Structure 1
Amino acid sequence: MDGFFWQMLTGEYAHLLVVGNVVGIATWLRRLSNRKCSQITTWQDAGLVSAHAFLVGRLVQLAVANFGSAAYFRRAFVDSGVLSSADAKSRIGNRSWSDWWSLWNPLPFSLRFPGSIKTVAYGWVGERLPHALQMDVYRHENCGEMPPVLLFIHGGGWLLGSKATIPSTLTFQPGFENADCSVLACVDAYGTHDLTDRFGHYGRIDVAYVASSSFYKKSRYYVEAVLMNTRLCVNRPAFERASPLYHVLQHTPSSVVPPFLCVHGIFDSVIPIEDTCEFFHALQRHRQVTGRVNAVPDVFVPLPQADHAFNCIRSPRTVAYNDAVGVFLDLVLAAHTKQHAVLLTTSKL
């Protein structure tokens, strides 16, 4: 975990780091050619330049993988039957000149939203030092009376509950028992699906890093101490109910699980990609057992060379991810609108 931040920065800013390091090597070589050096100094400089060149080569590999991420999104959408090859090529990773310039521009950028923005407090936490939990509500200026709602749940410790759908149990939705909380689709980016770690994937990460990082020794108990306020060995059913994988494994015929877009970096050093693989395989098994198939199939995209939280930085991989999310949600909304129109027509007949 200690090195996650630097790994993520290196992977997503690799194309900019290549340019900076190439300029640095060129400047260094120019200075060496303009001064008289002893033989020992020359060998030292040659060794440093060689090591620097090796580093640049590794950065080039990361940059190539980053720019090639769009191909993995396209392949996953085509293999899942969501898009044709032509549609995937035109809708994912098709960049304009302004988009390319924004990727090479190291300066921060701001987002503009054509509509109203309002910050509201949806709850209060803390007994001794209470403070408000706030969220930003965006409403597009051209949206209708009943637009679809996109709920973005950020990371950094948000491990609670099932992001798949609102469970039939009302345990995790107090105050919304009579509200329509149906979910049309779920975009699952490097999420946690099994708080019980029944397959031991998180345990292997802890063992691998415990020698080099005290954080990992403590992270094994993070869910128990911070999230669940109980031990797994004491109250395993509570951990099960809070795990999306548990609800999928139940194979309840009446449960409606929305289509999923699962994206996970293969080099994720925080949440093992095996966790998402197990969840996606269980999801496909659930579809087979219950026979409930959505109009838009599930999509799983494992991204090579990608670490945790890769989409927090504007990079070629992040832009391709944004394209894929937009395409997936557009297809789900179009299928839902079409199905709703058919139901209305049938009811009138």
Structure 2
Amino acid sequence: MHAFFRARRALQLALTTHARRPWTGHRVSVPGFVAGWLTSELAPHLLALTAADTAAHVARHRRSSDLPGLAMAAASAAGSAALIASAQRARGVVDDALTAALGPDEREPDAAGLATPWGRIVNPFKLDTDGVRRDQDIAYAQGGRRFLLDVYRPEEGTENAPVLLQIHGGAWMTGSKNEQGRPLMLHMARRGWVCVAINYPLAPAARWPAHIVAAKRALAWIRENIAAYGGDPSYVVTTGGSAGGHLASLLALTPNDPALQPGFTGADTSVQACVPHYGVYDFAATSGSRASAARMRGILARHVMGPDPTHDDYVAASPLDRITDAAPPFFVIHGDQDSLVPVREARRFVEALRATSHRTVAYAEIPGAQHAFDIFPSIRSAHVLHGVERFLDWAHTHRE
């Protein structure tokens, strides 16, 4: 029994250690992400599990102490506590980033909203849908289920509300509107926004630029139809994570580009602000990053781009290379422990935006955060969510 207890404690200690200092290298990036992501965001649950498991073990073996197992339990508990403390730091980091970019928050502080939502975090996979109506599987273009969207709106109804367009991630090859961005959309819908989550065609069956063309078609649908759902067709902000962050950023940086609007060049595909989470920005590896170059030669060339892509094709798809002085306001969010998209890519993108754009660029580098840290409610994601709410309200108030 001691051996089994030690094995459990050793495994959790290894996961906790990795979450604090992730493994590096291309071969371990995906498993490293999964292990670090779940361990970091579920740190309170793992701390409780460690305490319960250790207490049960001690109760069963009062006369035969297992010092190595107990030492590992103490170390993993301390590591989980450190992860919780790191997650709590997100509030101050986000607040400082937004204050630097926007100025002091002029709203009355909402103590309940800013507090850690422990009740919701206890069961993070059960989302609170109270107060929100969801209209599902609306076709925004012909082509089947990959061209469907959902609309989230206040249950009591609304008129002329600002609109948030959510684009899911998944390496351009997987994912759906049902899996990502829901905590943010539910939160904003309860606060009077109308939120739209879209599917889009996936690689390798659909090759670039089918993904961004679909996102623009969805935006054109919003312009024509969202008033019927209580939204303001003249005010749309876009957001998304990972590949969705790439598509949201490219959408914001390529308004009304006829090359990306075949058959609907007359549609207005501008957006009024953009909030990408842990996005892919250096599609063409123009920054010289080895990670970006490996991604371009690997997943992009093999699965996402069309046959025989040229360097110009990658540049045309790269947010880093499409920045102009007309870019809308951005709030870029990235975790400093991201194993899939290194944080230096976000830093480079923000530097380029600030050097060129005439509009506000806020950047929050979230301590201890892995890729996809906002998929379900957690300490860290709750603080980031309130920061996004602050930015969205500011952008809407200061719209041009």
Relative to structure 1, is the Cα distance of residues 115 and 78 closer, same or farther in structure 2, using a 3 angstrom cutoff?
same
d(CA) in 2 for partners of 1:325, 1:278: 21
Contact 1:92 1:323 in 2 (8 A): no
Question: Does structure 1 retain, via aligned residues, the 8 Å contact 2:89–2:367?
Answer: no
Aligned positions of 1:325-344 closer than 5 A: 325-336=388-399, 339=400
Q: What is the alpha-carbon distance in structure 2 between the residues aligned to residue 70 and residue 260 of structure 1?
A: 19
Residue of structure 2 aligned with 1:68, choices 75, 89, 95:
89
2:147 alignment partner, SS class: strand
Among 99, 120, 127, which residue is 2:138 paired with? 120
Letter in 1 for 2:394: L
8 A contact 2:256–2:268 mirrored in 1: no
Partner of 2:151: 137
Q: Evaluate the alpha carbon distance shift between residue 79 and residue 8 of structure 1 in structure 2; reply closer, same or farther with a 3 A threshold.
A: same
Aligned mates of 1:179, 1:331 — CA distance in 2: 27
Match of 2:316 in 1: 241
Contact between 1:74 and 1:92, CA under 8 Å: does it hold in 2? no
Displacement of 1:106 after TM fit? 5.4
Alignment match, 2:361: 298
**By how many angstroms is 1:165 displaced?**
3.1
**Which fold has the larger relative contact order, with Cα–Cα distance below 8 Å and residues 6 or more apart in sequence?**
1
Spell out structure 1 runs of 4+ moving beyond 6 A.
none
Matches within 5 A, 1:193-208: 193-203=281-291
Read off the aligned partner of 1:181 and give its amino acid letter.
T
What is aligned with 1:223? 300
Distance (Å, rounded) in 2 between the aligned partners of 1:91 and 1:264:
25
The answer to whether the 8 A contact 2:256-2:265 is kept is no
> How much has 1:134 moved relative to structure 2?
2.0
User: Contact 2:284/2:293 (CA < 8 Å) preserved in 1?
Assistant: no
Q: Matched residues in 2 for 1:265 and 1:96: separation?
A: 21
1:18-97 matches, cutoff 5 A: 18-33=47-62, 35=63, 37=64, 42=65, 45-80=66-101, 82-84=102-104, 90=109, 94-95=113-114
SS in 2 for 1:90: coil
Conservation of the 8 A alpha-carbon contact between 1:202 and 1:271:
no
Q: What one-letter code is carried by the residue in structure 2 that aligns with 1:241?
A: A
The answer to whether the 8 A contact 2:125-2:376 is kept is no
Indicate whether 1:11 and 2:40 are aligned.
yes
Secondary structure at 2:109 match in 1: helix
Q: Contact conserved, 1:202 with 1:272, CA < 8 A, in 2?
A: no
Measured against aligned partners, the alpha-carbon deviations of 1:125-162 in whole angstroms (never above 9, x if no partner) come to: 6xxxx764322123444322x44321100111244651
Gap runs ≥5 in structure 1: 207-215, 340-349
Q: Distance in 2 between matches of 1:77 and 1:21?
A: 36
Task: Tell me, in whole angstroms, the C-alpha distance in 1 between the residues paired with 2:165 and 2:343.
Answer: 23
Between the two proteins, the alignment pairs up a number of residues equal to 296
Q: How does 1:182-201 map to 2 (within 5 A)?
A: 182-201=270-289
Residues 33 and 371 in structure 2, CA contact (< 8 A), matched pair in contact too: yes
Q: Secondary structure at the match of 1:137?
A: strand
Which structure has the larger Rg over C-alpha atoms?
1
2 CA distance for matches of 1:155 and 1:320?
21
CA contact under 8 A between 1:93 and 1:319: conserved in structure 2? Answer: no
Do the aligned residues in 1 keep the contact of 2:88 with 2:380 (CA within 8 Å)?
yes
Q: 2:384 aligns with which of 308, 314, 321?
A: 321
| Contact 1:240–1:246, Cα closer than 8 Å, also in 2 | yes
Conservation of the 8 A alpha-carbon contact between 2:255 and 2:269: no
Match of residue 163 from structure 2: 149
Offset at residue 175 of structure 1 (A)? 3.6
Closer, same or farther: CA 163–182 of 1 in aligned 2, 3 Å: closer
> Following the alignment from structure 2 to structure 1, what is the Cα–Cα distance between the partners of residues 311 and 110?
44
Q: Assess if the C-alpha contact under 8 Å between 1:269 and 1:308 holds in 2.
A: yes
Q: How far 1:239 moved relative to its partner?
A: 0.5
1:260 aligned partner = 330
- Closer, same or farther in 2 for the Cα pair 1:139/1:310, shift >3 Å? same
- In the alignment, residue 154 of structure 1 is paired with which amino acid? H
Conserved 8 A contact 1:193-1:245: yes
* TM-score, normalising length: structure 2: 0.67
Q: Percentage identity across aligned positions?
A: 26
The unaligned stretches of length 5 or more in structure 2 are: 1-29, 173-242
Q: Which residue of 2 aligns with 1:108?
A: 126
Measure the CA separation in 1 of the matches of 2:80 and 2:293.
25
Distance in structure 1 (CA, Å) of the matches to 2:337 and 2:398: 34
Query: 1:170 aligned to 236, 258, 267, which one?
Result: 258
Q: 1:150 to 1:106 in 2, by over 3 A?
A: closer
Conserved? CA contact 1:261–1:328, under 8 Å = yes
The SS at the match of 1:150 is strand
CA, structure 1 residues 205+13, in 2 after alignment: closer, same or farther (shift >3 Å)?
Answer: farther
Deviation for aligned residue 1:168: 4.7
Residues 265/132 of structure 1: CA separation in 2 closer, same or farther (3 Å cut): closer
